[in-house]
Amino acid sequence: MSRTCFHCGEAIPSNVALSARLNAGVQPVCCIGCQAAAEWIVTLGLGDYYRLRNVPAERAVEAADYSAWDRPQLQRLYVHNLADGGAEVCVLVEGLRCAACSWLIDRALRDLGGVRSVEVNPGARRVRIIWTRDDIALSGILHRLAQLGYLPHPCSAQALDALDQREARTALKRLVVAGLGMMQAMMYAVTLYAGAFEGIDPATRDFFRWIGLLVTTPVVVYAAQPFFVGAWRELRARTLGMDTTIALAIALIYLASFYETVTGGAQVYFDSASMFVFLLLGGRYLEMRTRRRAADVVDAFARLQPALALRRRMDGATETVGVHELEAGDVVVVAEGATMPADGTLLGKACEVDESLLTGESTPRARRRGEALIAGSMVRSGPVEMRVAHVGADTVLSSIVRLIERAQTERPHAAVLGDRIAARFVGGVLALTVLTAAAWLYVDPSRAFAASLAVLVVACPCAFALSVPVAYLRAASALARIGVLMPKSDALEKLARVDRIVFDKTGTLTRDRLELVGVDVAAGCSINECLRIAAALEHGSSHPFAAAVREAVSSERAIPKAESLQTIAGAGIEGRIAGRRYRIGRADFALALSAGATDDDNVVVLADERGALAHLRVRETLREEAATAIDGLRSQGLDIAMLSGDSDARARGIAMRLNITDFRARATPEAKLHALEQWRRQGAVVAMVGDGINDAPVLAGADVAIALGGGTQLAQSSADLVLASDRLDAIPAARALALTTLHVLKQNLYWAVAYNFASIPLAAFGFVPPWLAAIGMSASSLFVVLNSLRIVAQRPSTEAQAPAPTLAEAVPA
């Protein structure tokens, strides 16, 4: 006697001796795939399936081999190593569509030993997994996903594109089939309605009904497929979702009409069925477009990294290698117009690079020899050579992509809450439908079907479930466009509630450099002469002041040669030019050669043996956009404050230039934290802006931490918002956006709730025919999606307030 497979029912070849261990005992199976599927279904506690089913399952496809993912060369591109032996990967999952899927995946993966955390985002079809390397291999995790029937894909640009393309094409085909089918079905329906009033002979009526059935069948079988698949998923996961109600409604309308056609009954609803499918697909199509537009930003990031690089060999010749083969220390050649394959430092002459996709800044930036280049930036003048420093997942680009992906994978509280309410709501709707049907059967059986159908259709909580994710996705993409990344999904909500914004001074309001604002020369000296002497003395110095002086003297040829230069730390520099001794630095140091003088942080004195030659007044360079940003925030009604660890005079100077009245100088990190705490205790919601690295502990003490981006430390930053554009004026724009988003979100939710509460009673009492219910439900979903499209970021104006003219511009060399 030939044995049959327990799972798929096919005959088991005689040379196979596999069995599945199930609760009910050991059962023979035909292949690994079926074994896995059967064991899996029972492990999930769904073993009843085997008792209840009357048709064997599809033969499960054996999961592909994922061991290639364990190769270090491949992992380096996709896997991010954590400090404690853990690793993080983002996987694109095919067939992931709804909250039930994410529940299934979440539970299945968490059961694996070694998997620390799983975060599933059905909207972006991404799963972020953190696991311990020693306990489980990446291939094992991917294998488990494949076993579930969700095919995992590497999160690379190509896979993303192909999947997107296939999804978009299929959606378009379904939409058009549904649309054309709907038009035809409605035409025939008009004939039938007219016939019902004017009289029609039964043969013609039946002819039109059969034709209607003919055009509606592909709409239901092909176009409506996603809803049935989704409902099946929800059923398997034992949750209730929107797809269940939709699939139920479509199937009910279609089957009832089918029955009426065959038996020559009273009424057919083919037009309603196809319209329902078309309108729903239309809503989903729009949602998909919105979602993809939001995901485009991430895709653009992912696509930035080229697949191949030109590496210079030891003998000087170049060879083309895959980017994943690059290692730190390699020298690569990047042609003009090409993108950097890895992070590194520039070798050879200066060049211009376009980092717009990373920072939102469209003007090319100049990079000098030895300066850092970032993977993904485009070379505007080349070719250039660079020495590779970081590759793959360690690059800045990768960390930015990871930040965005994390933001996408983490679902905001509001969305989680929405899902939970929706599931409960669906249960209520189903109960209400049954109740309506029962009541009408008692009162007027002929209207029972139409009324209960209307309840089912009109009450579908699509709008409710859509409102939160669409608004958030839209906001995240709008933020990314102005160069603001949102690693924490709740940041938006908190940002909207902020009423006090605190800036760190150094590195945040100011840049790490000084500028020369004036030179007071002693009688008989020329400004240019003094500046040249100063520049000569400061020639080799790395002090910010030296850079300021060098900047002021634009022509380097005029600088004389200084000899026996001596740097006295914390005081200044002494040197000899053309036989004369000069000193530059703090007044007490410089004038020690002659007489004493006053002490001021902001004045540097140039002196020779006879006395002061010049007082050079310097000040910290403000960020160009600082003033506009602060004005913008103030006009939004926020209190502005500044905390600085610097001296009182410096802090006061900056505060006065920016019109900030509330500032604290000489603040230690503890004092800063204390100040934040004090404000918070007074009831203020405080946002703190800092440069992310030095200010990390202080940032953690604020309600909303905003870090200025750039640099590799980005990935470690614990900030709620990261200004990747490195521009402060993105803050007012981001806050305005947060306010709009919350506003839109509230509107969406009110609308969804109001619509459902208003329409359900009407439908239950039989005032709403099924076709009107279909229009109402789809219109409310469309309203939510279109309303969310209003969330658009106002790009901060690029013309920041012109900085006060510095000496470099004022004085000819």
Partner 1 sequence: MNIILVLIPLSLILLAAGIWAFFWGVNHAQFDDLDTPALIPLADDPPPVIARREGDGAP
At a CB cut-off of 8 Å and minimum separation 6, what does 197 contact? none
Q: Binding of partner 1 at residue 798 (CB under 8 A)? A: no
Which CB sits closer to partner 1, 169 or 313?
A: 169
Q: What counts of helices (H) and strands (E) characterise the chain?
A: 26, 29
Q: Binding of partner 1 at residue 413 (CB under 8 A)? A: no
Question: Which residue in 118, 177, 237, 521 binds partner 1 (CB under 8 A)?
Answer: 177
CB 464 within 8 A of CB 752: yes
Which CB sits closer to partner 1, 84 or 201?
A: 201
3-state secondary structure of 235: helix
| Count of positions on this chain that bind partner 1 (CB under 8 A) | 16
Q: Say how far apart CA 125 and CA 98 lie, in whole Å.
A: 9
Which CB sits closer to partner 1, 177 or 699?
A: 177
At a CB cut-off of 8 Å and minimum separation 6, what does 148 contact? 40, 104, 105, 108
Residues 335-364 binding partner 1 (CB under 8 A) are 336-337
Picking from 445, 451, 418, 413, the residue whose alpha carbon sits closest to that of residue 432 is 451
CB of 126 to partner 1, least distance (A): 22
Q: Binding of partner 1 at residue 158 (CB under 8 A)? A: no
CB of 214 to partner 1, least distance (A): 7
Burial of 345 (0-12, 13-18, 19+ CB in 10 A): middle
Q: Say how far apart CA 621 and CA 657 lie, in whole Å.
A: 11
Residues 18-37 binding partner 1 (CB under 8 A) are none
CB of 436 to partner 1, least distance (A): 36
Picking from 807, 366, 813, 350, the residue whose alpha carbon sits closest to that of residue 548 is 807
Question: Which residue in 67, 117, 158, 165 binds partner 1 (CB under 8 A)?
Answer: 165
Question: Which residue in 27, 184, 748, 781 binds partner 1 (CB under 8 A)?
Answer: 184
Question: Which residue in 24, 64, 176, 328 binds partner 1 (CB under 8 A)?
Answer: 176
Question: How many angstroms separate the first and last alpha carbons of the chain?
Answer: 102
3-state secondary structure of 517: strand
Question: Which residue in 169, 313, 349, 790 binds partner 1 (CB under 8 A)?
Answer: 169
Question: Which residues belong to the active site?
Answer: 504
At a CB cut-off of 8 Å and minimum separation 6, what does 669 contact? 645, 697, 698
Chain center to CA of 20: 42
CB of 308 to partner 1, least distance (A): 16
CB 381 within 8 A of CB 350: no
Segment interacting with partner 1 (CB under 8 A) among 62-70, 113-121, 176-184, 374-382: 176-184
CB of 165 to partner 1, least distance (A): 6
- Measured torsion, CA atoms of residues 297, 300, 302, 308, in degrees rounded to the nearest 10: -170
CB 691 within 8 A of CB 507: yes
CB of 181 to partner 1, least distance (A): 9
CB of 336 to partner 1, least distance (A): 8
Picking from 199, 259, 262, 251, the residue whose alpha carbon sits closest to that of residue 228 is 251
CB of 211 to partner 1, least distance (A): 6
CB of 169 to partner 1, least distance (A): 5
Residues 423-462 binding partner 1 (CB under 8 A) are none
Which CB sits closer to partner 1, 201 or 315?
A: 201
Residues 215-254 binding partner 1 (CB under 8 A) are 215
CB 694 within 8 A of CB 507: yes
Q: Which helix (H) or strand (E) covers residue 234, if one does?
A: helix 225-236
Segment interacting with partner 1 (CB under 8 A) among 163-171, 512-520, 552-560, 687-695: 163-171
Q: Which residues pair with 686 in a beta bridge?
A: 500
Which CB sits closer to partner 1, 204 or 797?
A: 204
Which CB sits closer to partner 1, 172 or 194?
A: 172
Q: Cα angle vertex 457, ends 451, 462, to 5°?
A: 155
CB of 172 to partner 1, least distance (A): 6
At a CB cut-off of 8 Å and minimum separation 6, what does 682 contact? none
Question: Which residue in 173, 424, 561, 580 binds partner 1 (CB under 8 A)?
Answer: 173
Picking from 70, 76, 41, 43, the residue whose alpha carbon sits closest to that of residue 149 is 41
Question: Which residue in 32, 44, 74, 168 binds partner 1 (CB under 8 A)?
Answer: 168
> By rule CB under 8 A, what string of x and - marks binding of each residue 187-216 to partner 1?
-----------------x--x---x--xx-
Segment interacting with partner 1 (CB under 8 A) among 167-175, 232-240, 617-625, 803-811: 167-175
CB 270 within 8 A of CB 189: yes
3-state secondary structure of 460: coil
- Tell me, what amino acid is at 257? S
Q: Cα angle vertex 483, ends 477, 488, to 5°?
A: 65
Segment interacting with partner 1 (CB under 8 A) among 173-181, 444-452, 632-640, 795-803: 173-181
Residue ranges binding partner 1 (CB under 8 A): 165, 168-169, 172-173, 176-177, 180, 184, 204, 207, 211, 214-215, 336-337
